[in-house]
Amino acid sequence: MQLGRRPRSWALKAKNLALGANAASLRLLLTPRRMVDYATQSLFLLSTVDGPRGIPTRSVFDVLPCESVEEVKIASLQGDKDYYFFTQGGPFLADLLSLCLICRITRATTIFEIGTCYGYTALHLALNSPPNARVYTLDIPIGAPLEPKLKTSVVDEGTVASREPRAATGRYLCFEGMEAASKITCLYADSAAFDYSPFHRNVDLFFIDGAHSYDYVRSDTLNAFKCCHPGSVIAWHDYGRAEVYGVTRWLNELCERRKIYRIPGGSLAFSVF
- Quick: pLDDT tens for 167-182: 666 667 889 889 999 9
Sheet with 261-262: strands ordered across: 184-188, 134-139, 110-114, 203-208, 228-236, 269-272, 261-262
Q: Is the dihedral of CA 228, 107, 58, 90 positive or negative?
A: negative
* Helical residues (DSSP H) of 86-175, grouped into ranges: 90-106, 120-127, 154-168
pLDDT of 249 higher than 60:
yes
CB 136 within 8 A of CB 185: yes
Instruction: Report the pLDDT value the prediction gives residue 50, as an integer from 0 to 100.
Output: 60
Taking residue 217's Cβ as centre, other Cβ atoms within 10 Å add up to 30
CA angle 193, 98, 61 (to 5 degrees): 120
Residue 216 CA, distance from chain mean position: 13
Domains of the chain listed by start with CATH number: 1-50 (no CATH), 56-272 (3.40.50.150)
| 82-96 average pLDDT score | 72
pLDDT band, very low/low/confident/very high, at 10 (cuts 50, 70, 90): very low
| Residue bearing the bigger pLDDT, 181 or 32 | 181
| Residue bearing the bigger pLDDT, 92 or 4 | 92
CB 241 within 8 A of CB 248: yes
pLDDT of 206 higher than 70:
yes
Instruction: Report the pLDDT value the prediction gives residue 128, as an integer from 0 to 100.
Output: 97
- Using a 10 angstrom Cβ sphere, with 0-12 exposed, 13-18 middle and 19 or more buried, the burial of residue 268 is buried
| Residue bearing the bigger pLDDT, 234 or 144 | 234
Q: Cα–Cα distance between 266 and 242 in angstroms, integer? A: 13
pLDDT tens string 100-117: 999 999 999 999 999 998
CB 75 within 8 A of CB 81: no
CB 1 within 8 A of CB 160: yes
